Amino acid sequence: MFECPRCGETGNWVELSPVAGKPYYLYDDGPPDIYGYDPRELCHGCYTQLADNIVLGSDISFSFYYSAASYTSRSVLEAHEEDNVLVSYRTQENGRIGTESSHFVDCGGDPQAFGTFEEAEYPSSHSEYLDYIEDQTVSRNDRWALRDYPCADAILGKFDATVEEFQAKTRDAHRELLDEAAVRGIKAQPVSILQGQTIKEYLDHAVELREHGVLTDLVAIGGIAIYGPERQQELILSLREFLPERHRIHGLGVNLATLERPGVLNALASADSGNWFNRDAYANRSAEWGWETKNRVNFDTVTYQYLDHRRRKNELLAEHYWEGELTPEQETRDIATSTSAEQSQQQLTMVQAPDGGQNRGAKSDNVDGEKQSDESIDRSYMDLLEVSTRETLRQFGQQANTDEPQEKNRPQPTQADLESYS
C-alpha cells in the first residue's frame, strides 16, 4: 500500500506524483532531490507543493476527455487515436475505444438519466458497476466516477427528496463502492462527486465526504452541466478556493465556453464534455439523399466538429500555458488546413441550388455526376486532415456506411444510432 513519506497519506487510491515509477536510468545525474524527498515517492499533492518548476505533462497540465457514446462519435475518436476518452456506464456496451491512454468511466447518474429511473436508486447494483470498472480499466491512469445522486429540482421533486438526503445517499454509495473496490484491488483512480444546488451546499458536501473518509484526491462537481458558463465558473472557483491544494478538480460536462472564462483553467485539472459535436449532424440530411450518402455525411460532419473542437481547445491551452505558442506535440497532432475553419465548414455542408449545379447529396441518373458528387464530399473533409490520417479515416468512413461493423470486435451501433440513420 502506498504511503507518502512527507504527509503520511496512505491508501490504494492516493494520487501519485507524475514521475512515480520513473526508472533511475532515465536520469543523467541520478534521481532528483526535492527538499530531501525522492519525487517519485511523493503523493501528487506534496509533489505539486514542493516542485519549483513543474513540467506541464499529461498528469499535471489540463486534460480534456471526449465523451464517446454513439457509434459515429466512437469511430471518429478511434480514427484519430484520441488519448482521453470518457464513456458513460449507461452506454456500457461500448467500452474502451482502444486508443486512449486514460479511460474515464462515468457512473451514468446524470439528471437526464436519473429522471428515467422508477425509484431513487440505480437500476444496477454497486457490484455490477464494479464488475464493469474491473473489465474496462487497466491502470492508475484510468478513472471511474463514484456513484452520486443528482440534486436538480426536477429529480428531487420526482422522488420527494431533499438536497441533504441525496447528499447522504451519495456519501453512503461512495463508502460502499470504495470498500468493495479495495477488496477487489481495482487500480483505476476513483473520483468523488460533489452534489448540491447552492455554493454552500456543494462546500458542505465536500466537508461531509471528507469527514467520512470518502473525499478522493480527484473531485468532480456533479450536476454542473445543466448550468451556463457563468454559473459553472462561480462554482468551480469557489470550490478551488475552499478545497485543500492536494485535491484536484474535474469539471463534469464543462465545455470550452466555460474553460475560456477567467480563472477556470487554473482551477481545474481536467474536464469532459459530450457537446464537442452537434447531434443535429444526424438529422442534417434531405429526403433525396441515399443511405450511403447520409451516413457518410454524418461521419464527415462529426469528423470536422472533432477536429475543429480540438484545434480550438489547443489554441486555448497554448494561450493559457505557453503564451500562444503550441508545443511540438500539439503542432504534430493539430490539423494543418489551407482554409479557415469557417470556410471548411461551408465546404462540408454546402449543397448547391438545383439551378446552380449539382446537388451534392441528391441521387442522379448521370453516373459521372454521382462520381463527381462523391469526390466533392471527399475533398471537402480531406482538406481538414493530416496526410497520415487519410487512409485511416477512409477505412472508418467506409465502415460507417454499412449496417454492421466489418470487424467482429468493433462496437455494435446502439439502437439510437440505427434509428437516426433510418
Same domain, residue pair 324 and 262: no
Residue 321 is assigned to a structural domain of this protein: yes
pLDDT category at 280 given cuts 50, 70, 90 is: low
Q: In whole angstroms, how far apart are CA 400 and each of 54, 98, 172, 285?
A: 43, 17, 43, 16
Domain that holds residue 375: 284-421
**CA-closest candidate to residue 315, choices 278, 341, 283:** 341
Q: What is the mean pLDDT of residues 13-41?
A: 63
Same domain, residue pair 368 and 406: yes
Same domain, residue pair 239 and 309: no
Same domain, residue pair 130 and 242: yes
Residue 412 is assigned to a structural domain of this protein: yes
Same domain, residue pair 269 and 295: no
Query: Is residue 65 within a helix (H) or strand (E), and if so which, with residue range?
Result: strand 63-67
Give the model confidence (pLDDT) of 41-98 as tens digits: 888 777 766 654 333 233 336 899 999 878 888 888 998 889 899 999 987 667 898 8
Query: Is residue 328 within a helix (H) or strand (E), and if so which, with residue range?
Result: helix 328-333
Q: Output 134 or 343, whichever has higher pLDDT.
A: 134
Helices (H) and strands (E) in the chain, counts: 16, 8
Report residue 285: phi and psi, to 5°: -150, 160
CATH code, 251: 3.20.20.105
Q: Helix or strand or coil: residue 155?
A: helix
Same domain, residue pair 292 and 252: no
The Cα–Cα gap between 137 and 143 comes to: 8
Give the model confidence (pLDDT) of 178-195 as tens digits: 999 999 999 899 999 999
Choosing from 243, 258, 276, the residue where a domain stops is: 276
Please report, rounded to a whole number, the percentage of residues in the chain having pLDDT higher than 70.
62
Residue 229 is assigned to a structural domain of this protein: yes
Residue 100 is assigned to a structural domain of this protein: no
Q: What is the mean pLDDT of residues 18-31?
A: 54
Residue type, 62: F
**CA-closest candidate to residue 166, choices 131, 231, 217, 122:** 122
Q: Output 330 or 364, whichever has higher pLDDT.
A: 330
Q: Which residues contact 194 (CB under 8 A, 6 or more apart)?
A: 202, 205, 206, 209, 219, 220, 221, 222, 239
Domains: count for the chain: 3
Choosing from 276, 298, 321, the residue where a domain stops is: 276
For every residue of 226-282, DSSP letters joined together read GS-HHHHHHHHHHHHHHS-TT-EEEETT--HHHHTSTTHHHH-SEEEESTTS-GGGG
Strand partners, 67: 86
- Using CB atoms within 10 Å of the CB of residue 362, give its burial: 0 to 12 exposed, 13 to 18 middle, 19+ buried: middle
Give the model confidence (pLDDT) of 92-143 as tens digits: 667 898 888 899 999 988 777 776 777 888 888 999 999 999 999 988 889 9
Dihedral through CA 107, CA 2, CA 96, CA 64, nearest 10? 80
Choosing from 242, 276, 310, the residue where a domain stops is: 276
Q: Rounded to the nearest 5 degrees, what angle is found at the Cα of 268, between the Cα atoms of 110 and 56?
A: 135
For every residue of 350-416, DSSP letters joined together read ----GGGS--TTB--S-HHHHHHHHHHHHHHHHTTS-HHHHHHHHHHHHHTTSSS-SSTTSPPPPHH
Query: Is residue 192 within a helix (H) or strand (E), and if so which, with residue range?
Result: strand 189-194
Residue 225 is assigned to a structural domain of this protein: yes
Report residue 229: phi and psi, to 5°: -55, -40
Give the model confidence (pLDDT) of 3-23 as tens digits: 888 888 777 667 776 666 655
For the chain, the C-alpha Rg in angstroms (whole number) is 23
The Cα–Cα gap between 412 and 226 comes to: 30
Residue 79 is assigned to a structural domain of this protein: no
Same domain, residue pair 218 and 312: no
With a cut of 90, say whether residue 284 has pLDDT above it.
no
Same domain, residue pair 195 and 310: no
402: left (phi over 0), alpha (psi -120 to 50) or beta: beta
Query: Is residue 318 within a helix (H) or strand (E), and if so which, with residue range?
Result: helix 291-321
Same domain, residue pair 45 and 130: no
Q: Which residues contact 261 (CB under 8 A, 6 or more apart)?
A: 229, 230, 233
Q: What pLDDT sits at residue 388? A: 33
Please report, rounded to a whole number, the percentage of residues in the chain having pLDDT higher than 90.
34
Give the model confidence (pLDDT) of 162-177 as tens digits: 999 999 999 999 999 9
Same domain, residue pair 4 and 138: no
The Cα–Cα gap between 205 and 199 comes to: 10
Q: What is the mean pLDDT of residues 376-405?
A: 40
Q: What pLDDT sits at residue 33? A: 64
What's the gap between Cα 11 and its chain centre?
A: 26
pLDDT category at 359 given cuts 50, 70, 90 is: very low
Residue 94 is assigned to a structural domain of this protein: no
With a cut of 60, say whether residue 407 has pLDDT above it.
no
Same domain, residue pair 176 and 228: yes
Q: All 3 cell numbers of residue 60?
A: 499535471
Same domain, residue pair 406 and 306: yes
Q: What pLDDT sits at residue 241? A: 94
Q: All 3 cell numbers of residue 119?
A: 425509484
With a cut of 60, say whether residue 351 has pLDDT above it.
no
Residue 124 is assigned to a structural domain of this protein: yes
